[in-house]
Homo-oligomer: A and B are copies of this chain.
Amino acid sequence: MDKELIVQQVLNELRAQNAAKEVKEIAPKMAGSVDLNKCGMTEFVGTAMGDTIGLVIANLDESLHEILGIDKKYRSLGIIGARTGAGPHAISADEAVKASNTEVIIFETSNDTKGGGGHGNLIVFGAEEVSDARRAVEITLNSLSWAFGGVVGNEAGFLEVQYTARASHVLAKYFGAELGKAWGLINGCPASVGMLMADAAVKAADVKIVKHCSPGHNTCFTSEFTIFVTGDSGAVKQAVLAGKETAIKLLRTMGGEPEAMAKPYF
């Protein structure tokens, strides 16, 4: 009898542990925080959420300039790579080019998220001085701590919304923004959630869809539906928030309460 009670007590504790583990299922996949120079390499800048690692190369080998088609004036590169995320990295890299003498010259995304339905990425900043490249990488890593606040998910899927009142060169070059104007990202997984988000967003405010991504159009490899919108600052914010609200209601029908990866920043 006593034995059974003990067994029960242990099992209860374990169940509680497992429940906590399930709730945090997404969080460990997002592990990592800015932690400067753990490895003693001059190339290492830091790590961040999303298994993101930031690096610099002071003098890129010329053979890599050639094979990657990088202008030789960019002898220094800042490099961001991540297993999870594309939107948080896009808006963070955009902050970085605003505040550093760099340009993003590669922005590639892959189907990754460690088995999730979203992206991993590779971002390369070109710079003439390594200090500029390093600064761009540092700003990106730091910005990720708020930009992941745009990602909200549960065990079934997720939504992502990103918003800026003033887009810079990265968002303009790769994601349809107009320089200095408001821009928003509206994305959901599974893709049907993203599609309903898109419809809710464009009905909620006077915004223009400037780009759409889906695997059927060969514009992404992931299990998502994404649109990018522009317009007046207030309208863009209203649109992305309408998309977010729609997705949260839908994700709830498929699993537990959706949780944000970081504190929402708008």
Which A positions have Cβ atoms within 8 angstroms of B? 2-3, 5-7, 9-11, 13-14, 31-32, 35, 38-41, 43-44, 47, 51-55, 57, 60-61, 63-64, 67-68, 79-83, 106-112, 114-117, 120-122, 124, 156-157, 189-196, 198-199, 202-203, 208-209, 212, 214-216, 221-225, 227, 246, 249-250, 252-255
How far is the CB of A208 from the nearest CB of chain B, in Å? 7
Residue pair A202, B63 in contact (C-beta under 8 Å): yes
Some 25 contacts from A to B, beta carbons below 8 A apart, are: A3-B5, A32-B254, A38-B253, A39-B249, A39-B250, A39-B252, A40-B249, A44-B249, A57-B195, A63-B202, A64-B195, A64-B198, A64-B202, A64-B209, A79-B192, A79-B195, A80-B192, A81-B225, A83-B117, A110-B191, A110-B222, A110-B223, A114-B117, A121-B191, A215-B221
Residue of B nearest to A196 (CB): B55
Contacting pair B6 A51 (CB below 8 A) = no
Whether A110 contacts B64 by the Cβ 8 Å rule is no
- 4 additional A-B pairs beyond A3-B5, A51-B157, beta carbons within 8 Å, are A7-B10, A82-B192, A122-B191, A122-B192
Indicate which residue in B9, B38, B63, B214 contacts A108 across the interface (CB closer than 8 Å): B214
Task: Report the separation of the CA atoms of residues A157 and B83 in the bound assembly, to the nearest whole angstrom.
Answer: 8
Q: Helix, strand, loop or mixed for chain A's interface?
A: mixed
Cα–Cα, bound, A41→B192 (Å): 15
- The reply to whether A82 and B190 contact each other, CB–CB distance below 8 Å, is yes
- Residue of B with least CB distance to A215: B110
The reply to whether B110 and A79 contact each other, CB–CB distance below 8 Å, is no
Q: Do B11 and A3 have beta carbons less than 8 Å apart?
A: no
Instruction: List the B side residues contacting A253 at CB < 8 Å.
Output: 35, 38-39, 44, 47, 53
